[in-house]
A and B are shown apart, each in its own frame.
Chain A
Amino acid sequence: MTPHPLELRRIRKSFSGVKVLKDIDLVLPDKGAILGLVGENGAGKSTLMNVLGGVLPRDSGELLLDGLPYHPAGPVDADRAGIAIIHQELNLFSNMTIAENLYLTGAPGTRLHLLSYRAMNRAARAELARVGLDLNPATRVSELSMGVRQLVEIAKALSREARIVVFDEPTTSLATHEKERLFRLIRELSEKGVSIIYISHALDDVLALCHHVAVLRDGTLVGQSPVREMTKERMIAMMVGRKLDQLFPWVPKRPGEVLLRVDGLGQGSIFRDVSLGLRAGEIVGMFGLMGAGRSELLRAVYGVDPFDAGRVLFRGAPVRRPEPSWWVEHGVAYITENRREEGLLMPKTVKENLVLANLRRLRRTLGAVDTRREERESEEAIGRLRIKTYDKARQAVRMLSGGNQQKVVIGKWLVTRPTVFLVDEPTRGVDVGAKFEIYSHLNALAGEGSAVLFVSSEMEELMGVCDRILVLSRGRLAGELARPEFDQHRLLELAIGGHDARSVA
C-alpha cells in the first residue's frame, strides 16, 4: 500500500494555555485528492494550516509526508517539502513585479549574486502559462485584479514544485467568472497529482469541488468522509454541534413610519436618481452585482463620501450635510464593507472594541463609564455572536481570526440597538452559526421597531431574511420585489438588465 501524501497525527497546539488544536488526526488519502476543510471561525483551520506550513510550531504530534516524518522549523522547510499555502490575504508584494514576486527567495540565472531580469522574466512567463495567464511578468502586482493575483500566487506555488497546495478561503474576493476559472485550475492540478486542501465557508463550493470533507469544531476533528456521504445539512450540524432548525429566521412584521428617506440621490456616474424609504420595523434588502454602486450609495447616505444630487431625510426632516457623528448621535448605525479596516481598533482588546460605539450610553454621572454595564453588554455580545476569545479584557482584536473580528464589529453596533441599521455584506467570511445569529439579531432589531437596510450579494440570504428587496443596477434602482415575489431569476434579471441595457460596453 502506498503511503498517504500527507498524514497528521494527534496534532496539539495551545496559545497562552488555551487549547486551539486538540489531537487532530487528518489524512490526505491519495495523490491528487481534494480535501475540503470546513469549520466555524476560530475552529482551528488556519492554525492547523500554519502548523503544516511551518509558520507556527506544534506542541506535540506528528506530521508525515508520503509516510516520512516532516517537522518544519519554519516556512522555508515547508517550501522545500513542496507545501504551499495560499492565504486568504495573498502574500504578494504589490510594489513589485510578478517576476520579482515569483523569485523572491531564489531566482533563475543569478550569477555572482546579480539577478538577471531577462532570465527571471522568461521563466516567469512560462510559469504564468501553466495557470493559463498570458501576462507580461514585468507587470506590477498592484495593477492586477484580485482574481489574477490569486492565479499568480498559484503560479508561484507551482514554480516551487508544490505537491500539496492549501487554499484558505480563496473565493471571498473573487467575481463569479474568476471563481469558475479557479475551480477549473484546481481540478487540473488534482488530475496532475497535486494534492489540495481547500478551506471554505461556502459549503456548496466544497460539495461541488472536493473529494473528501473534514469538519473541525473547537479544535477537534469531528469527522472526515468522502464527499458523496456528505450533505450540506450534515456539515452544518457537525460544524455547529447542534441542529439549526432553519437557516433563515423570518417573522412577519408590521412596518411603521418612514424613518430614513433618500430622495433622488446621485453621485457622478456612480449612482443616479435613487429614491427609497426605510420604515420602522422592516428589513429591506439591497441586491446588485459588483460595481452596481450599492456600497457607494450607503457611504454617501451616511456622509462618508459626498453626493451631488438629491437629499436625505431622517424622520421626515432633511439632513443638510450627513455626517457619521451626527448619525451615530441619532441612533443610525452603519457597518462598512471593509469593516476590518474601518471598523476596528486592531491593537485594542475585544471588550474595548465592543463597547466603543456605546460609550455614550454607558456614561453615568460625571461622565464615568459604568464598568458593570460595560462588562455585561460585552459579555452578552460575545455570547450571542459566539465570538471566540480566551480573554475579552486582554486579547487584542488583532489576534482574533478574521471571522471573529467581523463578529466584533457587528456586535459593537448591535449593542447600541440602533433605530436605523445600514449593513453592507455583514455575513461575508462569517461561519453559518454566526450568520444565523446575525440574522436573528437583525430580526430582533426590526421587531423592536428599527429599520434595517441589508446590502448583500448573496441572493439566498436576502430572500430568507428581508421583507422586500431593492435591486440596484449600474447605479439606478432597477426594481423592487415584495416577499411573495422573491425569485432568484427575477433578481438576477433586474440586476443585469437594469433599464439601461444598451450602454453595456
Chain B
Amino acid sequence: MPAASPKVTVAAAFYRYGLFVVVLFLLLTFSLFNRNFVSGANAVNLLQQTASTGIAASGLVFVMVAGGIDISLGSTMFLSSVIVASAANAGAGLWPSFAIAIGCGALVGVVNGVCVALLRIVPLIVTLASLYAVRGVALSITGIQSVDFFNPVGDAVAYVRLGGVVPVVVVISAATLVLSQLVLSRTLYGRQLYAIGNNASGARVMGVAVRRNVFLSYVICGALAGLAGMVSGAQVGSITPSFSEGQEFIIITSAILGGVSLFGGKGTVLPGAFLGVLIIMCIENGLVMAGANMYLYTIVRGFVIFLAVMLDCLRNTGELR
C-alpha cells in the first residue's frame, strides 16, 4: 500500500515530535505577550516551578508503564511535607530530612503496593482509598493547622543556589528525572515494567517476577512523591491543610500529555512526562499573566485532562501499545 505510507509517517512524526512543537508553540505565544518570558531568569523560574511536579511525575511513570495508576500522590506529598517540616522544626538536619521525606512516601507506596500486587485489588480503588486515608492521617498530625517550613532545611532546599545560579530544587529534580529515565530504559527492571504493562500474563510465563516488580513500582512512586512533597513544601513555606490537594490530577495529566499511556507499556520520563509537566506549567503561567479569573483555571484544567486522555485513547486504537 504505497499510497498510505506517507500518511502513516506524518502521524508517526506527530506522535514523536508533536510534544516538542506544542511546548515551543506555548513558549513562543507567551513570549509575544510578555517580553520577560524568554529571559534566563524566567527560564530558571519555570524550572523551579516544575520541580516538584516533575519529581512526582517521574515516580508515577514507573507505575503507569506497568499498567497501574496512583491517585494518592497529592496526599502522599502532603503527609511527607507535614512530617518533614515538623521534624526540621524540631531540629532534624538536611540529609536526615531527605531520608524522612523519601521514607514517608515509600511507606505509603509499600501499602499501595501490597494491596495492588499481593492482594490484587484494582489500583484505582486502592489509591482512591489512600488518597483519603493518607490525607486524614496527615491532618490528624497537624490538628488541621498550618505547619511552617521556615527553617534552615526549608531554606536550603528552596532558596539556595549552587554557584549562585542553579537552584537546589532544579538540581534535585534534574537528577531525579535523569536517574528515573536511566532505570526505565537501561535496566532489566525497567524493561520488565514495559513488558508487564504490555502483557502481564505473558511476562509471568516468561519468568518475570511480575508481583515483585509491580510492588516496587509503587514504592518508587511513593518515595518520589515524598521527595516532591518536601520540595514543594519548602517552596511554599507554609503547609496549609489543603496543600497539594488535587495535585495528583495535574501530575497524571502531565504524564498522559507526555505520552505515558493509561493503558500501560508506553511512555518515558525524559523527554515524555517532563514535556507534559512543562506544557501544564506554561498554560498555568499563561493564565496568571493573562490575569484570568479563578473559575477559568478549573475549566482549562478540565479541558486539558480531557484532551490528554482523548489523545491517549486515539494513540491506543490499533495494536501499537
Q: Which A residues fall within an 8 A CB radius of B?
A: 53, 55, 74-76, 79, 85, 87, 89, 91-96, 100, 104-107, 110, 113-115, 142
Contact = CB atoms under 8 A, between A and B. Distances in A.
Nearest to B264: A95
A91 B206 contact: yes
A104 B266 contact: no
A93 B199 contact: yes
B321 A76 contact: no
Contact of A75 (B195, B206, B266): B206
A94 B202 contact: no
A419 to B, nearest CB: 34
Contacts of B276: none
A74 to B, nearest CB: 7
19 contacts: A53-B205, A75-B205, A87-B205, A91-B199, A91-B205, A93-B195, A93-B203, A93-B265, A94-B320, A95-B198, A96-B195, A100-B191, A100-B194, A104-B208, A105-B188, A105-B192, A113-B188, A114-B186, A142-B319
In the A-B complex, the 10 residue pairs with the closest CB atoms: A76-B207, A91-B202, A93-B198, A95-B265, A75-B207, A93-B195, A95-B198, A114-B186, A115-B186, A105-B207
A348 B134 CA distance: 36
B198 A96 contact: yes
Contacts of A55: 205
Contacts of A105: 188, 192, 206-208
Contacts of A114: 182, 186-187
A100 B182 CA distance: 15
Contact of A95 (B206, B208, B321): B321
A94 B188 contact: no
Nearest to A85: B205
Interface of B: 182, 186-188, 191-192, 194-195, 197-199, 202-208, 265-266, 319-321
A142 B8 CA distance: 14
B321 A142 contact: yes
A107 B321 contact: no
A142 B194 CA distance: 14
Contact of A93 (B186, B194, B204, B207): B194
B83 to A, nearest CB: 31
B185 to A, nearest CB: 8
Contacts of A75: 204-207
B207 A74 contact: yes
A53 B205 CA distance: 9
B197 A95 contact: yes
B192 A104 contact: yes
B191 A96 contact: yes
Give the interface SS of chain A, mostly helix, strand, loop or mixed. loop
A126 B45 CA distance: 50
B316 to A, nearest CB: 11
Contacts of B192: 104-105
A93 B319 contact: no
B199 A113 contact: no
A413 B207 CA distance: 39
A453 B122 CA distance: 43
A94 B198 contact: yes
B56 to A, nearest CB: 24
Contacts of A100: 191, 194
Contacts of A104: 188, 191-192, 195, 203, 206, 208
Contacts of A110: 188
A95 B156 CA distance: 42
A159 to B, nearest CB: 13
A93 B66 CA distance: 12
Given A79-B207, A142-B319, A142-B320, A93 B202 contact: yes
A194 to B, nearest CB: 20
A397 to B, nearest CB: 16
B194 A95 contact: yes
Contacts of A85: 205
A93 B191 CA distance: 10
B194 A106 contact: no
B194 A115 contact: no
B184 to A, nearest CB: 11
Nearest to B185: A115
Contacts of B202: 89, 91-93
Contacts of B208: 104-105
Contacts of B186: 114-115
Contacts of A89: 202
A307 B204 CA distance: 43
Contacts of A96: 191, 194-195, 198
A269 to B, nearest CB: 9
Nearest to B1: A269
A107 B205 contact: no
A399 B265 CA distance: 25
A403 to B, nearest CB: 19
A110 B191 CA distance: 13
Nearest to B318: A142
Nearest to B319: A142
B212 to A, nearest CB: 13
A261 to B, nearest CB: 31
Given A55-B205, A75-B204, A87-B205, A94 B191 contact: no
Interface centre among B191, B194, B203, B321 (most CB of A within 10 A): B191
A341 B111 CA distance: 35
Contacts of B265: 93, 95
B312 to A, nearest CB: 14
B187 A115 contact: yes
B256 to A, nearest CB: 16
Q: Determine which residue in A93, A94, A113 has the highest number of CB atoms from chain B within 10 A of its CB, and name it.
A: A93
Contacts of B266: 95
Contacts of A95: 194, 197-198, 265-266, 320-321
Nearest to A89: B202
B314 to A, nearest CB: 16
**Residue of B205, B319, B321 ringed by the most chain A CB atoms within 10 A:** B205
